Amino acid sequence: MKRWLGLVVGMVVLVVTATPLLADEAIEGRAGRAELRFMQGMIDHHQMALDMADDCLTNAASADLKTLCQAVIDAQSAEISQLQSWLKDWYGLVYNPVSMAVMMQFMPEDMTVDGVMLGGMVERTGHSSMGHGGMPAGMDPPMMMGMMAGLSRLKGQNYDVAWMEAMIDHHDDALHMAERLLERGEHPILLDLARQIIADQTAEMDTLEVMIAALAG
């Protein structure tokens, strides 16, 4: 009887201690805020990578680079969906990223950059005047600076190298985001995703460095 009672108590303790790890409810306090920041931030970050990868598929000269860009789209689209699902299930939030091309459609019609009118160009002129990433040809609006700065002015190998350098920097930001989550987050499956992001994007950065070196050589 004592042995049976001890077994039951042990099972109850196991269930109670395991409950916070079931990953089916919101986490309060700093850990919860860290998870929210990470998931929303990574969704937006991945969307920027999708914008870059879409641009690559259209403008890259290298077939190998286009293959890598498609892999980025496949992997990060899936991660966006997973993060959206967890945000809704755990925190009751519906969060959708906005692509750069869509943003252009909602700019004020009188918005200009360097004297060129940008607002409403997608709706008014269609794709004929669009350059890389759905942007006006030859233009890099402020929202694109630091991510695709200057790409619209490049072609061929020069474009490929510049794109890969930009994606390396972009991936590096994702690593820092994931590392910060590992310090604060609590949902085990979310922490596993952060570790996977670190592993996958570190490997991809190494691949891009090799590809850059090959083009330079």
Are 214 and 157 within 8 A, CB to CB?
no
Residue 183: other Cβ atoms inside 10 A: 8
**Is 157 among the domain residues?**
yes
Are 204 and 67 within 8 A, CB to CB?
no
**Is 68 among the domain residues?**
yes
- Residue 142 phi/psi, 5° resolution? -55, -35
Q: What is the pLDDT of residue 127?
A: 35
**Is 12 among the domain residues?**
no
Tens digit of each residue's pLDDT (9 = 90 or more) over 4-62? 445 444 443 333 333 344 447 899 999 999 999 999 999 999 999 999 999 999 999 99
- How far apart CA 113 and CA 129 sit, in angstroms, is 15
- How far apart CA 66 and CA 58 sit, in angstroms, is 8
Residue 121 predicted with pLDDT over 70: no
Token couple for 73: 């789209």
Coil, strand, or helix at residue 113?
A: strand
Give 121 or 213, the one with higher predicted confidence.
Answer: 213
Token couple for 127: 């794709």
**Is 20 among the domain residues?**
no
- How many domains are there within the chain? 1
Which position has the token pair 């474009």? 159
Instruction: Read off the CATH number of the domain in which 61 is found.
Output: 1.20.1260.10
Judge residue 83's burial from the number of C-beta atoms within 10 Å of its C-beta, 0-12 exposed, 13-18 middle, 19 or more buried: buried
Q: What is the pLDDT of residue 130?
A: 37
**Is 201 among the domain residues?**
yes
- How far apart CA 144 and CA 126 sit, in angstroms, is 20
Strands 116-117 and 112-113: antiparallel
**Is 9 among the domain residues?**
no
Among 14, 11, 18, 42, CA closest to 191: 42
Coil, strand, or helix at residue 105?
A: helix
Residue 112: other Cβ atoms inside 10 A: 11
Q: What is the pLDDT of residue 146?
A: 53
Provide the residue range defining the domain that includes 142: 25-216
